[in-house]
Chains A and B, each alone.
Chain A
Amino acid sequence: MASQDKGEEHWQRTSRLMIIMLSLWAFFSFIVHFFVGGLNGVTLLGFPLGFYMAAQGSLVAFVIMLFVFAKAQDKIDRDCGVAEEDE
């Protein structure tokens, strides 16, 4: 039965990570671009910030998020004893 409990804990933590990732995803996909008008008033390296966020900022965030996610999910798997054996 112990492994069953671990399985439940695993899925709870996995779900929590999922919600965090999807919130960040929603922020960088949609919410930040709602404010493009205001952000364009700020200039960064010559870029209007609103334009910059859609052209590069959000993309960089997505890439970083995915590497962090792979690491975090692997930690959850290992903590709960459901990770695959290392080769």
Chain B
Amino acid sequence: MATEAQSGGSDFTSNLGKIYGIYTGGFVAFVALVGMLEYMGVPNKILGYMFVGFTILVYAFIGIVSRTGQVSEYYVAGRKVPAFYNGMATGADWMSAASFIGMAGTLFLLGYDGLAFVLGWTGGYVLVAVLIAPYLRKFGAYTVPDFLAARYEGNTARMIGVIVLIACSFTYVVAQIFGTGLIAQRFLGLDFVVAVYAGLGGILLCSMLGGMRAVTWTQVAQYIVLIVAYLIPVVILSAKKYGLPIPQLTYGQALAEITRLENSFVANGLATQAFVTAKAHITPFTSYSPANFFALIFCLMLGTASLPHVLMRYFTTPSVREARISVAWSLLFIFLLYFTAPAYAAFSKLEVYSTLIGKNLSDLPQWVYTYGNLGLVNICGKAATTLDAVKAACAAAGNTAGLLRLQDFGINTDVVVISTPEIAGMPYVIAGLVAAGGLAAALSTADGLLLAIANALSHDVYYKMIDPQAPTNRRLVVARVLLVIVAVLAAWTASQRPADILAMVAWAFSLAAGGLFPALVLGVWWKRTNSAGAIAGMLVGFGVTLTYLLASRYFPGYGVQYLGMSSLMNPVTGVPVVDLAKAMAAPNAMEAWTALSHPMASKVGWFNINNISAAVFGVPAGLVTMIAVSLMTPEPSKSMRDFIDEVRKPKGKTMMEEKAA
């Protein structure tokens, strides 16, 4: 029953182009309709509800229509997803609230150095396609730990895989639900905690009934919404400013203008030379030292190639060949957003520089106060809540001329994308569209992550380790119950508003790379890797990465005392960012689990490497351990070497077939 069941699927797959074509047209018509309603004077809040409500209804509808009672449909969408559509689904799976909302903001603030994220989150797909995904597809795993268990003969490797998977996916999913809550709060005016649980409902509707199958087709729909929403504001800006609606080509001129403005601010006394030198948009290595810049790229790329919720998407294609092409399509769809993000940042920055800086403090536009009241825009170091507050803060900061200087203005990275339509004076319908896009990005990633966690628990832990005799229905019931439990747990964590949430997402990449990358790659590419070596290597890689993260962030005193950590350096001046002798003598030096305000938190490390790049130590340590221990212990059996030969050849059936229930 489980292997060959079709349930009308082939009819659906042959009509995909038509279905999603109509869907896209319908979405565009919907946006136009909302635009007309706005023109007719319908209040913004109702427009916001329409955007969020309509899109969530569509996702829920897809989720319900795609419900399934079959194991292979639930775990790998029956392996019937064509490469092109799997590429779109992977794009939505991959691009999270952080990419959609945060990326352009990061580039706005960091300039060139922020491009480490753009590079790291795209180049990793080369590793996925060349080293890993096609081979896992041939093996025919349901989950990444499935492959580890088969290749490294046993449940020890499986269990380590499950632990790494949960460690890197859970914080990630919390961040998505957090993002969903933020958007619902801003655009629907809901209380944050209510908004979080509302978002949770949306996520569960899509994923619970239909597992991977429902998530796949919802993610395709979500990709279309998010890419349209991302491109439209910046296309409008480009057309308005330079008469050409291709922002990726025109923002070169915007960059030149930014540099010109930066210099003119210095000449007019609106910025200090030191500030512009440290923040100039196109100058490299002002926020990260070159070593940190490249270490970050390295960790993000290897992390991409190891994150289970991404690898899992390539288990759904009909063949190994399609899996490879599908990685290429995925990257193309991801690229559309990532090569637009720097343009977004440049246009938004230019808009702020040319309309805001040098303005009289009494004439600041309304949006400054809208976001200032949410604590997201600072003027002279204080939240811009009212004109009086701004004037008082600037007088205290020594701004006597009453004109806004460059160094007076601060904006939260998460608002840049959301606020740009407002900053540029576009109608509210565009802002609503952007909110719908951000929501699509957060929901789709949350779906993929939840499924990865719940599948690892239901398939790897429950079915493979606790009750291998479990009948099909019970396995699916367990999978759904676990999905709901994990989701509620994640929503509860998000509702506590953990402070470190965004940093933790970046850590997820290092943890995945340190724990899984060597085991996955050597498992395919080096036959001599044996079970003892892999287990030791995974433990060391994951352990070193985790230790570095925890010590430098939460136990900096111990890091300095026992692990030989030293202060990080300022990338521009080369001066240590914290005076260690003084900080270690302070009474709170050995305090742990303290807020970011601890004088040494995230400011110490080895070789001046930031803790977001922890895998730069973890991966080599894991790799060397894996090779050394493998060579010291007996080589894998003949049957294992044959197994690897099989994995390497696309021809033939998938190796792990679901037994008929």
Chains A and B bind each other: yes
* Contact in complex: A25, B324 (CB < 8 Å): no
Is the pair A21, B126 in contact by a Cβ cutoff of 8 Å?
Answer: yes
- Cβ-defined contact, B252 with A52, below 8 A: yes
Greatest chain A CB density within 10 A among B118, B123, B125, B293 is at B123
Q: How far is the CA of A21 from the CA of B257 in the complex (A)?
A: 37
- Chain A residues positioned under 8 Å from B131 (CB to CB): 18
Judge whether B294 and A30 touch: CB under 8 Å.
yes
Tell me, yes or no, whether B661 is within 8 Å of chain A by CB: no
Asked if B328 and A63 make an inter-chain contact with CB atoms under 8 angstroms apart, the answer reads: yes
Residues A27-62 near B (CB distance < 8 A): 28-30, 33-34, 36-37, 40, 43-48, 50-52, 54-56, 58-60, 62
Q: Judging by beta carbons under 8 Å apart, are A66 and B331 in contact?
A: yes
In the bound complex, CA of A43 to CA of B256 (Å): 10
Is the CB of B589 closer than 8 A to any CB of chain A? no
A69-B331 in contact (CB<8A): no
Decide if A54 touches B252 in the complex (CB within 8 Å): no
Tell me the bound Cα distance from A1 to B282 in angstroms: 60
Q: Mark A1-34, 1 if CB is under 8 A from B, else 0.
A: 0000001001100110110011011001110011
Please tell me if the beta carbons of A62 and B255 are within 8 angstroms of each other in the complex. Answer: no
Q: Least Cβ distance of A58 to chain B in Å?
A: 6
> In the complex, what distance in Å separates the CA atom of A45 from the CA atom of B339?
15
- The one of B130, B325, B649 that contacts A10, using a Cβ cutoff of 8 Å: B649
Which residues of the partner chain A approach B650 to less than 8 Å between Cβ atoms?
77, 82-84
Q: Judging by beta carbons under 8 Å apart, are A69 and B248 in contact?
A: no
Q: Interface digits, A66-87 against B, CB 8 Å rule (1 contact, 0 not)?
A: 1101100110010001111001
The residues of B that contact A15 with a CB separation of less than 8 Å are 525
Question: CB distance A69 to B284 under 8 Å?
Answer: no
Residue from the set A21, A44, A54, A67 with the largest chain B CB neighbour count within 10 Å: A54
Collect the chain B residues with CB atoms within 8 Å of residue A14's CB. Answer: 648
Render B622-661 as a binary contact track against A, CB cut-off 8 A, 1 for contact.
Answer: 0000000000000000000000010011110000000000
- Decide: A21 near B130, CB < 8 A? Known: A7-B645, A46-B255, A47-B255: yes
Most buried by A among B129, B253, B294: B129
* Cα separation A73 to B648 with both chains bound (whole Å): 12
CB within 8 Å of A: which of B295-336? Answer: 297-298, 301, 318-321, 324-325, 327-328, 331-332, 335
Contact A82 B321 (CB under 8 A): no
Q: Are B327 and A54 in contact (CB under 8 A)?
A: no
Would A56 and B328 count as touching, CB distance under 8 A? Answer: no
Check A62 against B123 for contact (C-beta < 8 Å).
yes
Task: Name the B residues within 8 Å of A87 (CB-CB).
Answer: 318-319
B249 at the interface (CB under 8 A from A): yes
Please tell me if the beta carbons of A36 and B112 are within 8 angstroms of each other in the complex: yes
Residues of B within 8 A of A25 (CB): 123, 126-127, 130
Task: Point out which of A25, A28, A29 has the most chain B C-beta atoms below 10 A from its C-beta.
Answer: A29
By beta carbon, the residue of chain A nearest B342 is A55
A54, A56, A60: the one contacting B112 at CB < 8 Å is A54
- Main secondary structure on chain A at its contact with chain B? helix
B290 nearest in chain A by CB position: A34
- List of A residues within 8 angstroms of B253 by Cβ: 46
In the bound complex, do residue B119 and residue A45 qualify as a contact, i.e. CB atoms below 8 Å apart?
no
Instruction: Identify which of B130, B325, B332 contacts A63 (C-beta below 8 A).
Output: B332
Residues from chain B with a CB closer than 8 A to the CB of A60 are 335, 339
Identify which of B293, B321, B339, B649 contacts A55 (C-beta below 8 A). Answer: B339
A81 to B649, CA, bound (A): 10
A73–B322 Cα distance when bound, in Å, is 12
Specify which chain B residues have a CB less than 8 angstroms from the CB of A82 in the assembled complex: 649-651
Residues of A within 8 A of B651 (CB): 77, 81-84
Report which of B112, B249, B318, B342 forms a contact with A45, defined as CB distance below 8 A: B249
**B112–A11 contact, CB under 8 A?**
no
Closest to B325 in A: A70
Q: Which of A18, A47, A62, A69 has the most CB of B within 10 A?
A: A62
Q: How many Å lie between the Cα of A27 and that of B7 in the bound state?
A: 47
Whether the Cβ atoms of B123 and A58 lie closer than 8 Å is yes
- From the candidates A11, A21, A34, A59, name the one contacting B118 in the complex (CB within 8 A): A59
Tell yes or no: B122 within 8 A of A by CB: yes
CB contacts (< 8 Å) of B342 on chain A: these are: 55-56
Select which of B129, B297, B320 is within 8 A of A29 by beta carbon: B297
Contact between chains at A73 and B115 (CB < 8 Å): no
B108 within 8 A of A: no
Indicate whether B338 reaches chain A with its CB closer than 8 angstroms.
yes
Within 8 A of A (CB), among B265-279: none
On chain B, the residues within 8 Å of A40 by CB distance are 282, 284
Residues in A lying within 8 Å of B, measured CB to CB = 7, 10-11, 14-15, 17-18, 21-22, 24-25, 28-30, 33-34, 36-37, 40, 43-48, 50-52, 54-56, 58-60, 62-63, 65-67, 69-70, 73-74, 77, 81-84, 87
Apart from the given pairs A29-B301, A83-B321, A84-B321, 13 other A-B contacts in the complex at a CB distance below 8 Å: A10-B649, A18-B131, A33-B294, A45-B252, A50-B284, A54-B118, A54-B119, A58-B123, A59-B339, A62-B122, A66-B328, A70-B328, A84-B650
11 residue pairs A–B, Cβ–Cβ below 8 Å = A17-B130, A25-B130, A43-B252, A47-B255, A52-B252, A58-B122, A60-B339, A62-B335, A69-B130, A70-B327, A84-B319
B→A interface (CB under 8 Å): 112, 115, 118-119, 122-123, 125-127, 129-131, 134, 248-249, 252-253, 255-256, 282, 284, 290, 293-294, 297-298, 301, 318-321, 324-325, 327-328, 331-332, 335, 338-339, 342, 525, 645, 648-651
Give the top 6 A-B pairs by smallest Cβ distance, nearest first.
Answer: A46-B252, A66-B328, A47-B252, A54-B115, A82-B649, A70-B324
